[in-house]
Each structure stands twice: as structure tokens, then as C-alpha cells.
Amino acid sequence: MPTVATARLACIVVFAALGCEAAATVPEVPGDDIFGFTTPTDVGNPGETGFANENDGRVGKRGGAYRALNTKYELGHTAAPDWWVGASLYASHHHVRDVPGFADVNRTAFDGLSFEIEHRIVKRAPGNPFAIAVSLEPRWGQIDSVSGLPAQFIDAAFKLFVDAVVVPDKLFWGFNAIWTPQRAEDPVDRSRWLSSSGILVSTAMAYQWSPKFFLGAEVRYLGSFSTILPTQEVGHALYAGPTLWWKITDTVAFNTTFQPQVAGRSIDNPQRRLDLDNFEKAQFRAKLTVAFQ
């Protein structure tokens, strides 16, 4: 006959096994770019390395022709459980013609370097559907992102990522909040350095149409400030649009989104319903990722 101690030990083993099984079945948000601009919290498994070609475009001002494209080439590596690091180089292209307040520019140029470190600080668990990650990305560049004129700058993006499973294997939610303080040369007078900052808050939903396709929608709020801390606003804009993620192969994926500005306000032109002084009529992204096993 089993003793009381043996019975208790058997119960402990059974409950431990059930707990492990429950933990193993906690639904997860896929670690790919299923949300558009919004970044999920998954940082991959230790030892994994990947490459990404990210193209962020902006089109349209109040008059004339305006097109800008920022290209980022990123090599990333999961260095340890819940820790990811990446290094990037940038190129930019600007085509500006007959835009009020802007010099005519038609230039493609190298635009600097960045380094990023990300840490997932909260994992999903039974009873907790949310995961949270934080990231820091310092960057040096040499082209003013709005005018396209030469101007050295240094900034650092402080990032918060949150995501959750809404319906397991079907519907997922993501949220990002980013603050980016900057010191930069004035592109009109490069002997003068200016302080500024930007904030970005985004939320997105992604639906798994099939194992290879996710469709969704995203809303982003962007604010521009003339101070390091986000205290003196010069304008803000709200963008919204559809998102698509396509898993081309087991190691190659593509995501894209196109988002027009649906509302905004500039301090210089408060009577207008869009801010086209600090932002653009529409923004888009096309990103290709490759995972190395």
C-alpha cells in the first residue's frame, strides 16, 4: 500500500506537470512584423540572427512635389533569453520641388548609423495575456529628415512595446510608445545646433487570414516638439491605414502599410485640418526580413 508521503509526492508531480503543460500552451503573439509600423515584443530565441531591409516613405506637402524615403539596413541577433541587439546603417532619398518654405532638393545619400538593444521585461503567462518589452536606439545621421538638406544630428529613441493575444491563432493586438530627443544642426545655418523631440504612439490589430498572411489596421499619433522634453509642441498628426504581412518562405517575410494623414494641427497654421508643415499627407512602409537559422 502507498504511504501518505508517497501519495503527496505523486500529487506534487501531477500538479507540476499540469502547470508546465498550462505554461506551454499560453498563446503567443507571432514575433514577426505583423502590425505594420508597430513592433511586437518577441525578441526571438537565443542564437538567432536576422537581416531586415526597412523602407519608410513619406509623400505630399501643401504644394509642389514632395517625396522622401528612409532606408534602414539592420542586422540583429538574439544574444540571450529576452535580449536582442541590432546594428543598422541608413540611406535617404529626397525629391522636393516647388514646395513652399523648402529648397528644391533631389538627392540620395548615406544617412548614418544606429545601435539598438531590446529587453522583454514581462512575459505572457496563465492569467496575464500581455507581454512588455523596452528598447533604446541611439542614432547618428547627416541628412535633415524633413528638408533633405545636409545636417548632422544625434538622437536616441526610447521605446515601449506591448502586445496581447485577443483570439488565439487568429487576432492579435500591439501598442508602441516612443520618445526621441534630438540635437541637430540647423539645415539653413549649420553653425547653429537646435534641440527638438518627437513622440509616436501607435496601436494595431492583426488578423491571421492564413498561416502565410496577416491582415490588419493601424492608427499612429505623431507629435513634434521644439524642446528636448515634449513640452512645446509645434504640430501633431494622426495616421491610419491597412497593414499586410506575408510569410514568403520559412525564413523570408514581407510587411507593408500605407497610411494617409486623417487629422492634424500645426502651430503655424492652426486653422488647417492637417499638419503639412511638420508631417506629410501620407506615410508608408515596405519591409523585408530574412532569418538565418
- Per-residue pLDDT at 284 exceeds 50: yes
Look at 224 and 32; give whichever has higher pLDDT: 224
Neighbours of 12 (CB within 10 A): 10
For residue 177, pLDDT beyond 70: yes
81-98 burial, b at 16+ Cβ within 10 Å, e below that, comes to ebebbbebebbbbbbbee
CB 81 within 8 A of CB 160: no
Is residue 25 very low, low, confident or very high in pLDDT (cuts 50, 70, 90)?
A: confident
State how beta strands 213-225 and 105-122 pair.
unpaired
- Domain residue spans of the chain: 28-292
Cell of 34: 505583423
| pLDDT-derived band at 22, boundaries 50, 70, 90 | very low
**pLDDT of amino acid 85:** 98
For residue 68, the tally of other CB atoms under 10 A from its CB is 21
**CA separation for the pair 291, 250 (Å, rounded):** 8
Q: Is the pLDDT of residue 24 over 80?
A: no
- Three-state helix/strand/coil letters over 90-113: EEEEEEEECCCCCCCEEEEEEEEE
What does the pLDDT read at residue 3?
A: 52
Residue with cell 516613405: 57
User: What's the rounded Cα separation, in Å, for the pair 69 and 46?
Assistant: 33
Structure confidence at residue 105 (pLDDT): 95
Task: Compute the half-sphere exposure of residue 283: CA atoms within 13 Å on the CB side of its CA.
Answer: 21
Strands 105-122 and 83-97: antiparallel
**Residue 221 has what DSSP assignment?**
E
Count, in order, helices (H) and strands (E) of the chain.
Answer: 1, 12
Asked if residue 200 lies in contact with residue 220, where contact means CB atoms within 8 angstroms, the answer is yes
Would you mind telling me the total number of residues written for the chain in this entry?
A: 293
Of 12-26, 133-147, 233-247, the range with the lowest mean pLDDT is: 12-26
**Looking at the whole model, is its pTM more than 0.75?**
yes
pLDDT band at 26 (very low <50, low <70, confident <90, very high): confident
User: Does residue 151 surpass a pLDDT of 80?
Assistant: yes
* Mean per-residue pLDDT over the chain, rounded: 91
30 falls in which pLDDT band (50, 70, 90)?
A: confident
pLDDT in tens, 52-99: 999 999 999 989 999 999 999 999 999 999 999 999 999 999 999 999
Pair 140, 114: CB distance under 8 Å? yes
> The domain at 28-292 falls in which architecture?
Beta Barrel (2.40)
Across the range 193-211, mean pLDDT stands at: 96
